[in-house]
Amino acid sequence: MSAVIVAGTDTDIGKTIFAAGLTAALGARYWKPVQSGTEGGTDSKTVQALSGAQTLPEAYLLQRPASPHLSAEDEGVEIDLDQLALPQVDGPLVVEGAGGLMVPLNRQHFFLDMFPRWGAPVVLVARTKLGTINHTTLSLMALRNAGCNVIGVAFVGDAEPDVEETIAQMCDIRHLGRLPMIPDLNRDSLAEAFKAIDIDAIRSAL
């Protein structure tokens, strides 16, 4: 099995859409270990609709749209890191984190603490809006300090070439491409937009 982690600099930046495109491009399965918030559907259902791929059941499916540790506490449970071991599957597996890297899973551990346990390479997804240089740089520092193999940064949003190049240059990180905003989002339009992503660089790291 070869796995790749899709992490984000923040929540609601297009990480799930990117994960759906990557899942389809790799012919992979998809796993969202912890889902916080189920009103309006789950990320697994979104990825399944946009990729046609098989999605694996969440280890924790929590109702409240909040930090995982708060959602779990609402339901009287504590997220156990031992329950988040990578599932064994044939072929590639795309694993999507929850929100940003420093989202708490419980009162002792952040989501980032899982990445060294998994030992899988990471794609960092960042938006192109104002503030992304700071958020992306801090996220890359955290990933590297944790000993993660970061394949590169993929951007989501309107083109900001100067900003994107600044991040790539100053952080010495591969620019994996950019997904634009897709007005009519469906499986075909996502697959077409995903041609702008350097899938070969990601595949070669698995």
Residue 91 has a pLDDT of 95
Question: Would residue 195 show up in a list of annotated catalytic residues for this protein?
Answer: no
Whole-number pLDDT of residue 1: 64
Interval 110-122: pLDDT, tens: 999 999 999 999 9
What is the per-residue pLDDT for 98? 86
SS3 4: strand
* Selected catalytic residue, list 15, 32, 45, 195: 32
Are residues 63 and 71 in contact, defined by beta-carbon separation less than 8 angstroms?
Answer: yes
Residue that has been written with the tokens 């599957």 in this structure: 89
Domain 2-205 class in CATH: alpha beta
Domain ranges of the chain: 2-205
- pLDDT tens string 18-43: 999 999 999 999 999 999 999 889 99
Average pLDDT over residues 56-64: 97
